């Protein structure tokens, strides 16, 4: 994906090796969430994206389901339906799906538990604070809303 301020690229890095390299609670949370997301999005692409993300930070994001995303100003971009990234103090889950004109994350926010919610992102500091059934429902709904994901 290349838009102003973002230069993320699909890589050939093995996702399972990347996950195995993560330590501690965040590593455990990443592996647990990866298993849940992979289960709900079985059959869709699962690749590691690397590069500069919003805010100029270097990121490594596991992307699930390739999509072509329209941009309000400019050409469409290739991106992921759901992304998973380990941050310094939390895990981020990005959900690029819209339901009835609103980001899906916002619709599910009241059900997800003690998490921080942005427009299309969920920040998780403790996995045991997340309602995992609601999380699974959100990922499942993202897939339903995006039948062209590959």
Residue ranges per structural domain of the chain: 2-145
pLDDT at position 6 over 60: no
**146 touches 67 (CB < 8 A):** yes
pLDDT at position 113 over 80: yes
Span 39-64, mean pLDDT?
92
pTM of the entire predicted model: 0.92
Q: Average pLDDT over the chain, rounded to whole?
A: 93
pLDDT at position 55 over 80: no
Residue entry with tokens 């993202």: 142
Query: Hey, what are 38's tokens?
Result: 């992979």
Question: Which has the closest alpha carbon to 62: 112, 20, 118?
Answer: 20
Span 69-81, mean pLDDT?
83
CA angle 53, 30, 58 (to 5 degrees): 20
Span 69-88, mean pLDDT?
88
What pLDDT sits at residue 7? 83
Residue entry with tokens 């942005």: 118
Span 107-119, mean pLDDT?
97
CB atoms within 10 A of CB 86: 21
Residue 119 Cα distances to 105, 106, 136, angstroms: 7, 6, 18
pLDDT at position 69 over 90: no
Residue entry with tokens 């500091």: 125
Span 47-64, mean pLDDT?
89
Distance of CA 91 to the CA centre of its chain: 10
Q: How many helices (H) and strands (E) would you count in the chain? A: 4, 10
Give the confidence band of 71 by pLDDT, cuts at 50, 70, 90.
Answer: confident
């Amino acid at each position: 994906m290349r838009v102003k301020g973002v230069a993320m690229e699909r890589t050939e890095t093995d996702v399972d090796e990347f996950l195995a390299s993560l330590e501690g609670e965040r590593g455990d949370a990443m592996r647990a969430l990866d298993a849940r997301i992979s289960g709900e999005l079985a059959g869709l692409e699962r690749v590691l994206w690397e590069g500069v993300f919003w805010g100029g930070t270097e990121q490594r994001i596991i992307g699930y389901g390739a999509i072509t995303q329209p941009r309000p100003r400019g050409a469409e971009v290739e991106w992921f339906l759901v992304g998973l990234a380990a941050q310094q103090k939390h895990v981020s889950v990005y959900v690029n799906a819209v339901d009835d004109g609103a980001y899906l994350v916002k619709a599910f926010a009241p059900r997800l538990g003690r998490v921080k919610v942005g427009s299309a992102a969920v920040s998780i500091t403790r996995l045991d604070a997340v309602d995992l059934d609601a999380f699974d429902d959100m990922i499942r709904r993202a897939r339903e809303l995006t039948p062209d994901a590959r």
